[in-house]
């Protein structure tokens, strides 16, 4: 039986980290959106965000498993800044 | 009959050689502390107060009578009810955090009274233990009368008996600092670092705020407590001086560890009171200004006197002065139902003041408050809408300090994960990680709140967590004092330049 994977999520602009339970087959973009929703009381939603894990930007279409995330890892969602 | 000057040195400095047991059996290192040294190394131990028991009792009696007189004159329920609502909630924070923490100080002091390595140290620790009993009983007495009026004051006694997240953090701190500590580490961690440094913050700073807020009862109480603290804090210096001769690296470690751990706790206890829960016109200084004047200057001078260095994380600490308690307050506001006191949103005038006092990061904090205010504006004011302006996801906590992962800044949170012995730990900051990794055997088996939830020990469902685990009720959990009904909030834009 699949168990949701607990992860520490940090949204740029927020004042604390949140516990996120990642779903099987969920893309990192979907996880990023859920973190934005969870933090929306403190941080206005931004459409253009990047998902960072282990110091690297992750392709948003990859699933959590494909990105290599493991239980109790940290990920970050940051605003994509215009070049 | 001997005069006072003749008998007092005999009474308070009474050591002898053991013939039936070894000295290290009377004072085992595990409970007397490191380094273990023969008494010859401690025999010059001195402190400046040199109080007799009779003098101690006479002085304490007079101080207690002064507190009671103020209570009778201005400390009655009708007086307290006139205080501003935000300040009242600052009182609730301290009513909960203070009394039983002081009781743990009784235990730590009694350890010094038995296992301190010189008789004068043991004498002074005995008085210290009696002091801490007093600091337990006075606030319990004064706050108890308020319970029938506001049940949140019940947390004066209840707080440490719950698994509320802040109680878990406070217990983690005080259990190590006082309850479970050997005599030497207690003297350096509690008497030297906490009582000569941070209790100034708690008692001198809060006394000043209480006076400005016309809360003369609280002012008198903390001033009275501080006179005791100033006396028994003197235990720390001579203990530190002896240990410095034999193991200066150990002293530096204890200093670095306990300054950081004390900072974590007191930045919340006092920082929120000064910068958010005291009316703007009654704030004589910012929390940062007070820290700089009363804690940092004095602390650095003391380090110089002993030939100690600033803690290695000093730059991190100075940066946190600008931001940490702001991150905690905004986080706690949006999870206020997890606490036992009520909150207030900083007004436009207060945000302007905060920007002046904390220019480095305030833009980022102001954006957070603007978002909270927008939510109130969307749902409308009223008690029924409290939970619509509240977080629902599970917050996360540091595996060392047990406080929320709110260090760094909104742009860059400094939480970091460490894998060790097949387990993962997360720390809010580099100093918390460093302390953990210096003594992993001490900390590794303590579960933070997230791991309690994940293991099924604590409920995952937020309402159950609040009621079954934190022991809050809809009558006692924290709310916005005004339920979002601020005059200025109705205006379209509150952003403060």
Rounded to a whole number of angstroms, the distance from the CA of A4 to the nearest CA of chain B is 11
Residue of A nearest to B410 (CA): A13
* pLDDT over threshold 80, residue A81: no
Rounded to a whole number of angstroms, the distance from the CA of B137 to the nearest CA of chain A is 36
First to last CA, chain A: 44
Q: In this predicted model, what pLDDT tens digit does every residue of B8-38 receive, in sequence order?
A: 888 888 999 999 999 999 999 999 999 999 9
Q: Which CATH class is domain A5-74?
A: alpha beta
* pLDDT over threshold 60, residue B415: yes
Mean pLDDT in residue range A49-77:
97
- Please report the sign of the dihedral spanned by the C-alpha atoms of residue B482, residue B487, residue B492, residue B495: negative
Q: Do B372 and A42 touch (CB under 8 A)?
A: yes
Cα maximum dimension of chain A: 44
Mean pLDDT in residue range B198-216:
83
Which residues are B416's β-sheet partners? Answer: B427
* pLDDT number for residue B251: 97
DSSP class of residue B495? -
Residue contacts between A and B (CB atoms, under 8 Å): 92
* pLDDT number for residue A7: 98
pTM, two decimals, is 0.95
Q: With contact defined as beta carbons under 8 Å apart, do A7 and A73 qualify?
A: yes
Rounded to a whole number of angstroms, the distance from the CA of A68 to the nearest CA of chain B is 15
Q: With contact defined as beta carbons under 8 Å apart, do B30 and B181 qualify?
A: no
CB-count exposure of residue B115 (10 Å: 0-12, 13-18, 19+): buried
B411 near A CB under 8 A: yes
ipTM of the complex: 0.96
Token pair of A42 as six digits: 């403190």
Which pLDDT band, with edges at 50, 70 and 90, does B493 fall under? low
Q: With contact defined as beta carbons under 8 Å apart, do B202 and B266 qualify?
A: yes
At CA A53, angle to CA A52 and CA A58, rounded to 5? Answer: 60
* pLDDT number for residue B5: 87
Q: How far apart are CA B229 and CA B124, in angstroms?
A: 12
Mean pLDDT in residue range B280-297:
90
Residue of B nearest to A14 (CA): B410
Give the start-to-end residue ranges of the domains of chain A: 5-74
Q: How far apart are CA A80 and CA B385, in angstroms?
A: 33
Helix H, strand E, coil C: the string for chain A is CCCCEEEEEEECCCCCCEEEEECCCCEHHHHHHHHHHHCCCCCCCCCCEEEEECCEEECCCCECCCCCCCCCCEEEEEECCCC
Q: Which residues of B, range 85-114, sit inside 8 Å of A by Cβ?
A: none
């Amino acid at each position: 039986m699949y168990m949701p994977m607990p992860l520490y999520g940090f949204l740029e602009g927020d004042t604390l980290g949140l516990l996120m339970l990642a779903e099987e087959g969920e893309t990192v973009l979907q996880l990023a959106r859920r973190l934005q929703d969870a933090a929306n009381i403190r941080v206005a939603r931004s459409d253009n965000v990047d998902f960072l894990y282990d110091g690297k930007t992750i392709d948003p279409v990859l699933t959590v498993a494909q990105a290599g995330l493991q239980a109790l890892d940290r990920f970050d969602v940051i605003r994509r800044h215009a070049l | 009959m001997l005069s006072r000057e003749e008998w007092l040195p005999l009474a308070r400095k009474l050591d002898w050689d053991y013939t039936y047991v070894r000295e290290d059996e009377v004072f085992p290192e595990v409970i007397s502390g490191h380094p273990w040294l023969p008494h010859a190394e401690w025999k010059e131990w001195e402190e400046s107060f040199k109080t007799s028991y009779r003098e101690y009792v006479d002085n304490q009696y007079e101080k207690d009578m002064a507190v009671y007189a103020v209570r009778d004159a201005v400390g009655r329920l009708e007086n307290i009810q006139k205080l501003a609502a935000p300040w009242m909630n600052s009182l609730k924070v301290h009513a909960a955090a203070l009394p039983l923490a002081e009781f743990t100080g009784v235990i730590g002091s009694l350890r010094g009274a038995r296992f301190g390595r010189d008789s004068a140290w043991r004498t002074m620790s005995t008085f210290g233990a009696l002091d801490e009993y007093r600091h337990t009983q006075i606030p319990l007495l004064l706050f108890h009368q308020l319970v029938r009026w506001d049940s949140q004051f019940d947390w004066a006694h209840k707080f440490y008996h719950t698994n509320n997240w802040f109680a878990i953090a406070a217990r983690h701190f005080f259990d190590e600092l006082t309850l479970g500590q050997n005599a030497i580490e207690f003297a350096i961690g509690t008497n030297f670092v906490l009582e000569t440094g941070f209790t100034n913050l708690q008692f001198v700073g809060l006394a000043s705020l209480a006076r400005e807020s016309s809360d003369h009862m609280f002012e008198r109480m903390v001033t009275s407590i501080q006179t005791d603290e100033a006396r028994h804090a003197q235990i720390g210096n001579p203990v530190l001086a002896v240990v410095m001769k034999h193991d200066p690296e150990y002293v530096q470690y204890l200093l670095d560890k306990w300054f950081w751990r004390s900072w974590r706790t007191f930045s919340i206890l006092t920082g929120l009171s000064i910068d958010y829960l005291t009316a703007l016109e009654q704030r004589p200084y910012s929390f940062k200004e007070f820290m700089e004047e009363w804690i940092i200057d004095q602390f650095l001078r003391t380090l110089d006197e002993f030939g100690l260095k600033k803690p290695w994380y000093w730059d991190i600490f100075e940066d946190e002065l600008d931001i940490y308690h702001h991150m905690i307050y905004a986080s706690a506001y949006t999870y206020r139902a997890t606490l036992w006191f009520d909150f207030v949103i900083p007004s436009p005038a207060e945000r302007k003041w905060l920007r002046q006092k904390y220019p480095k990061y305030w833009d980022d904090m102001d954006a957070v408050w603007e978002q909270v205010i927008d939510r109130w504006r969307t749902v409308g004011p009223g008690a029924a809408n409290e939970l619509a302006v509240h977080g629902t996801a599970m917050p996360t906590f540091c595996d060392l300090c047990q406080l929320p992962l709110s260090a760094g800044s909104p742009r860059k949170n400094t939480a970091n994960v460490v894998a060790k012995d097949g387990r993962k730990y997360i720390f809010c900051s580099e100093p918390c990680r460093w302390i953990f990794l210096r003594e992993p055997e001490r900390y590794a088996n303590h579960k933070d709140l997230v791991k309690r939830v994940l293991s099924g020990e604590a409920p995952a469902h937020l309402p159950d967590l609040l009621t079954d685990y934190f022991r809050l009720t809809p009558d006692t959990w924290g709310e916005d004092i005004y339920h979002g009904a601020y005059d200025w909030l109705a205006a379209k834009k509150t952003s403060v330049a």
